[in-house]
Amino acid sequence: MSVHTQVERLDHLGVIAGVIQDLGLVEFIDNRIPGDSREGISCGEAVAGMIINGLGFSDCPLTLTPQFFENKALSKLFRPGVNAENFNRFKLGRALDDCHAYGCDLLFAEASVQICQKEAIDTKFNSLDTTAFALTGEYESDSDEHTIEITHGYSKDHRPDLKQVVLEIMCSHDGGIPVVSKAWNGNASDTKIFRERAKALADSFKAAETPRYLIADSKLYDKQTIEQGLCLIPFIARIPGTIMLENTTIESALQKPMKEWTLLDEKHRFYTFNLQHYGLQQRWMVVHSQERQNKAENMVEVRCKKEREKIEKALKTLSAEEFSCPHDAKGALKRCFSKSKFYEVLEGTIEEEKKYESKGRPKQESLYKLVYRITGIVQECQAVREEAIIQSSCFIVGTTIPQKELSDAEVILAYKNQNNTVERGFRFLKDLLMFTSSLFVKKTERIMGLLMVMTLALLIYSNSTKAAS
């Protein structure tokens, strides 16, 4: 009697499927998006399949999801009766359409709230940021108010030649769990996105039983954003360098004796100012970073080198010019240094020359006119260079949170923790190999659904990592 043996693999996918089942994600989606009984899998299972494919860290794009699941134990990952062919591109595309029809932002927000409550996620600190995903090809769209526009915009990936879509995410500092996800037009600015988010969060943050804080970069700190909703939210943000008060505050801090600064750690120290700006009572912490100073030294070195080369070229050209009087020559030399920041003229030497009107050897009675040439010696302004380095080594973290709730050090650490939450989340999303080939996604609505599924994958991954730690 022959025995037929079939080997099916689980690998780490069993852990992912277990987390999805424990969180009740499939049932959650199916309760909101009813499926067709004639189809082999539901919308929730299709979304779970895309998440498992993505977190499988394979090089298998969504178009080849059936091949990805061919040798997997689908009865364990999903349920008995599910087969690999159920995850074909037509079903996955319809699932993305259904998610868009329900509302990708709403579906993710509802799922995140339920999961955060179930897993007791602390949402006290929330980091907000955006990233852009470059896309190729042409995309169809139904063009309604709920559909984004895939278009050219400021490229954070340095690919201005490609159209893109912008993704906004807000993550809790407790495990980096994403709590908000929203797709935006490819040319949407961070300032506009943050302004709309501040409006949307104002009521919920104010009504929260426990304090909730919003943390973001300098694009959050905008006068109009503050007036339209941010004034109602306790926030932590970097103060933009375009504000004059930012520069003068840093200068004031640098004039203070070093012993008056507070040591945060071996690489950071800070000085605090209490002030009022844009109608809000705030604390501004001027933070000096040794890492930023090292970068500033290299940056200023490059700037000095370029500026010196430019000045020396201008001086070479100037030395060949003729002037009718010393005053004109000195004026031209002064103009050479008018835009120079790091260099000044140490000495200008003027040479007088007789220029005869006739050619050949001049006679004693030959007519001539006096012309003047000038040369200069360049000197670096060391004090200006050092000031530029130390100025670039500092930045300001501002907050409206009272001192009794968060100390100065806690505010700075909360701001710095963005790198371990939302920025880490963006790095993770861009490393998901399953999304490197989404050519079958020809509709803008499906791109929006795909971005939501990607963020759900981040939610599942972050939650499982938090549980493991």
What mean pLDDT is predicted for residues 155-180?
A: 87
2 vs 119, residue with greater confidence: 119
- The encoded tokens of residue 174 equal 């407790």
pLDDT at 296: 92
Are the C-beta atoms of residues 231 and 241 closer than 8 Å to each other? no
Report the run of H or E that residue 131 belongs to, with start and end.
Answer: strand 125-135
Ordered by start, the domain boundaries in the chain are: 310-380
pLDDT at 211: 86
Distance (Å, rounded) from C-alpha 282 to C-alpha 272?
A: 10
Lowest mean pLDDT among 134-148, 225-239, 280-294: 134-148
Q: How confident is the model at residue 432 (pLDDT cuts 50, 70, 90)?
A: low
For 439, residues 6+ apart whose C-beta sits below 8 A from its C-beta are 61, 63, 137
Are the C-beta atoms of residues 228 and 199 closer than 8 Å to each other? yes
Q: Is the pLDDT of residue 104 over 90?
A: yes
First to last CA, the chain: 49
Place of tokens 């809790």: 172
Strand order in the sheet with 163-172: 178-184, 163-172, 125-135, 213-216, 235-238, 394-399, 280-289, 268-277, 262-265
11 vs 420, residue with greater confidence: 420
Are the C-beta atoms of residues 33 and 45 closer than 8 Å to each other? no
pLDDT at 439: 42
Handedness of CA 304, 309, 314, 315 (dihedral sign): positive
Helix, strand, or coil here: 190?
helix
Place of tokens 């000197």: 379
pLDDT at 368: 72
Lowest mean pLDDT among 248-257, 291-300, 332-341, 389-398: 332-341
Place of tokens 């943000």: 237
Helix, strand, or coil here: 292?
helix
Distance (Å, rounded) from C-alpha 195 to C-alpha 185?
A: 15
For 9, residues 6+ apart whose C-beta sits below 8 A from its C-beta are 71, 72, 73
Q: What percentage of the chain carries pLDDT values higher than 90?
A: 50
Exposure string of 250-264, with b = 16+ CB inside 10 Å and e = fewer, is: beebbeeeeeebeeb
pLDDT at 163: 83
pLDDT at 76: 86
Position 32, amino acid: R
β-strand 235-238 against 213-216: which pairing, if any?
A: parallel
Q: What is the DSSP string of 141-158?
A: ----TTS---B----TTS
157 vs 306, residue with greater confidence: 306
Q: How confident is the model at residue 300 (pLDDT cuts 50, 70, 90)?
A: very high
Q: Is the pLDDT of residue 218 over 90?
A: yes
Closest Cα to residue 345, out of 367, 318, 371? 318
Q: Is the pLDDT of residue 60 over 60?
A: yes
pLDDT at 239: 97
Task: Kindly tell me the burial class for residue 55, based on how many C-beta atoms sit within 10 Å of its own C-beta (0-12, 13-18, 19 or more).
Answer: buried
Q: Is the pLDDT of residue 402 over 60?
A: yes
Q: What stretches of 78-122 adopt beta strand conformation (E)?
A: none
Place of tokens 């990805």: 68
Helix, strand, or coil here: 396?
strand
Place of tokens 């959650």: 28
Residue 212 φ/ψ region, left for φ over 0, alpha for ψ in the -120 to 50 degree band, beta for the rest: beta
Position 204, amino acid: S
240 vs 163, residue with greater confidence: 240
pLDDT at 365: 60
**Could you report the per-residue pLDDT of 241-253, keeping only the tens digit for each?**
999 999 999 999 9
For 45, residues 6+ apart whose C-beta sits below 8 A from its C-beta are 26, 30, 78, 82, 86
Distance (Å, rounded) from C-alpha 464 to C-alpha 462?
A: 6
Q: Is the pLDDT of residue 438 over 70?
A: no
Q: How confident is the model at residue 336 (pLDDT cuts 50, 70, 90)?
A: confident
DSSP label at 359?
A: S
433 vs 97, residue with greater confidence: 97
Q: Is the pLDDT of residue 233 over 80?
A: yes
Q: Is the pLDDT of residue 260 over 90?
A: yes
Distance (Å, rounded) from C-alpha 103 to C-alpha 144?
A: 13
Are the C-beta atoms of residues 77 and 13 closer than 8 Å to each other? yes
